[in-house]
Structure 1
Amino acid sequence: MSGRRGNLTALAVLSVAASKPMHPYEMGQAIRGWGKDRDMKVKWGSLYSVVAALEKRGLLEATGTDREGNRPERTVYRITAEGRTELADWTRELLATVDGDHTRFRAGLSVAVVLPPDEVVEILRGRLRALETGLASDEGELHRVRGTVPRMFLIEDEYALATARAEVKWIYALIAELATGTFPDLEQWRAFHESGGLDGGTASAWAAAEPHAEEHANERSGDPA
């Protein structure tokens, strides 16, 4: 995994910047308003430095300044083509990687709309194969040591197996919904990509959530930046 992809604050920034140009404070409001900080760990104190780092890497670019009332001017940034590619590749990585860190999988799910649904299905099928292989191995090992190791020393392994089984069951159900067309808003999801891919689709997807952003932000007080 790329070291540059270890900071999920950058993923959160790219995901909201994909909807429209924003200044960093607005990005923070969008991240919090759209609940992205529940889906991934956001380090609020480093938000501005993350934006600067993304600009340096060519994933964001300044488009001008914005002023609200008597507030100082703020630089507005938009996501670049390279930023959209990074966002999509990062999402693929998070959805596919089985490493025991469920928070990263949740982060990938939270931005999965940046990929076409058929691609998400294929990625999840690959994840299932990896999960089932690991599950079979772990179940075999637990069965082997039972009877020789007191159960009080095995309950964490039982928990890990139960969690893995639950994830496998949930992913099977999600794939079935996507593959059979019973997933709500699936056609809208497809249309996002057919009408413009990440440029048109992602903007529309996040714009649809915007009416709720201020409501959620007000419920969770504090300066997001």
Structure 2
Amino acid sequence: MKRRKVGNMLGLAVLSAVLDRPRHPYEMAAVLKERGKDADMPIKWGSLYTVVANLEKHGFLEAVESRKDGGRPERTVYGITSAGREELEDWVRELVGTVEKEPPRFQAGLSMVGVLGPDQTIALLRQRIEQLTERIEAQRAMLEQLRPLLPRLFLVEVEYDLAMTEAEERWTHAFLGELTSGAVPGIDAWRRYHETGEIPDDVGELLEEE
């Protein structure tokens, strides 16, 4: 992935918010929340004004006017520049066409699940499956509500999110089944370690080899 002058996802969102017309930062935030962009990408709203300033600094936004409504502070309205349009399009091309390793928190937890023991892991996976099932039901309901209202082009990110949640639920179910049936290699040694606090000889040999 290329190093960008303004690299956080809020920068991408801001550029998209002013693509149709100039807006001041407050309007940008309102539009992005209305479009649900905070669900599609990690957004830190407290950084909005800093990100807007950086986009202007690098020539992706330009101040087009200042507005003053009553006793409110003056608000600067920003429009996208030709360089900003090029940056936005290039950024989207990169996100869609380039595979990037983005390890989720669940993967990080799985990499260290040995510290918990199999019984606690089984309980936690059951808990996770319940939450995944609830999320899937909510995502499906959302899609059913939105499909009559919006073209599919505006729903593909919701479809993707649902597909990823369903895939995680299937994998978690399968792994849970292996744990509960005892089919995972080394599960007995794993359980003995958590019962006795002693590292089994076969595990100790593997650690020494590393």
Structure having the higher helix fraction is 1
Higher RCO, Cα 8 Å, sep 6+: 1
Higher radius of gyration, 1 or 2: 2
Give TM-score scaled by structure 1 length: 0.44
